Amino acid sequence: MSVLQNFRSLHKKFASVLFVFFFLIGLTGSLLSFKSAFTKIIFENKQVNAESKIGSILPLDSLEKIATSILNEKANTKFKKSEKVEIKITKGTVLFYYKDAYSIQLNGASGEPILIEKKFGGIIQDVHDGAILDNLFTNKLSLSKKVYSIIMGLSLLLLTITGTYLWYKPKMIKKNR
């Protein structure tokens, strides 16, 4: 069996097995370009201006209580605590993230709500980068995501190399005749 036939066989086997995964990565990658279309704005207050001074931000526990009560009222939810906090110092805003993809942005100085939204694009992102495997197996180390990323990256590299060889080798043979 020649090198060309070995590459062709290897390329065909890998491509047929990984087709579904590459298709999903391409589809979800395309959908991610429209990620903002998968966001539902529940409340937006354009009159509230953010304070840009870091010293004027209220304590985080107070802001979290305000954010949780406003979110529960406006989005008809029953949250007790946020999962993640993001402070944007230059903008003077504080973002609180909750389960089920809810988030609320507050003015850091006054505690007034600026934006409440629910993002539906998270599942698309999780499928795209393999994090859905970690969610299914409740893996805190994100080991499944890392293994998935390594396998897909190396497979794509292998298919690119063998595909280029399969395309270029016949041209070289034809040229040498």
Structure-token pair, residue 127: 């499928």
> Is the CA virtual torsion 30, 151, 160, 23 positive or negative?
negative
User: What is d(CA 7, CA 42) in angstroms, rounded to the nearest whole number?
Assistant: 54
Q: Where are the alpha helices (DSSP H) in the chain?
A: 3-32, 60-75, 122-129, 131-136, 143-176
Tell me the sheet residues that pair with 41: 117
Contact criterion met (CB below 8 Å) for 104 and 41: no
User: What is d(CA 88, CA 14) in angstroms, rounded to the nearest whole number?
Assistant: 45
> With 0-12 CB in 10 A as exposed, 13-18 as middle and 19+ as buried, what is 91?
middle
Phi and psi at 92, nearest 5°, equal: 75, 25
- With both helix axes pointing from N to C terminus, report the angle between 3-32 and 143-176 in degrees, rounded to the nearest 10: 130
Helix, strand or coil for residue 2? coil
User: What is d(CA 63, CA 106) in angstroms, rounded to the nearest whole number?
Assistant: 8
Which pTM value belongs to this model? 0.63
Please report, in tens digits, the pLDDT of each residue of the chain (177 residues total): 687 788 788 888 888 888 888 898 889 889 888 877 888 888 888 776 665 555 678 899 999 999 999 999 998 999 999 999 999 888 889 999 998 889 999 998 889 999 999 988 888 888 888 888 877 776 667 788 888 889 888 988 988 888 888 888 888 878 887
Phi and psi at 149, nearest 5°, equal: -65, -40
Sorted by sequence, the CB contacts under 8 Å of residue 25 that are 6+ apart come out as 128, 152
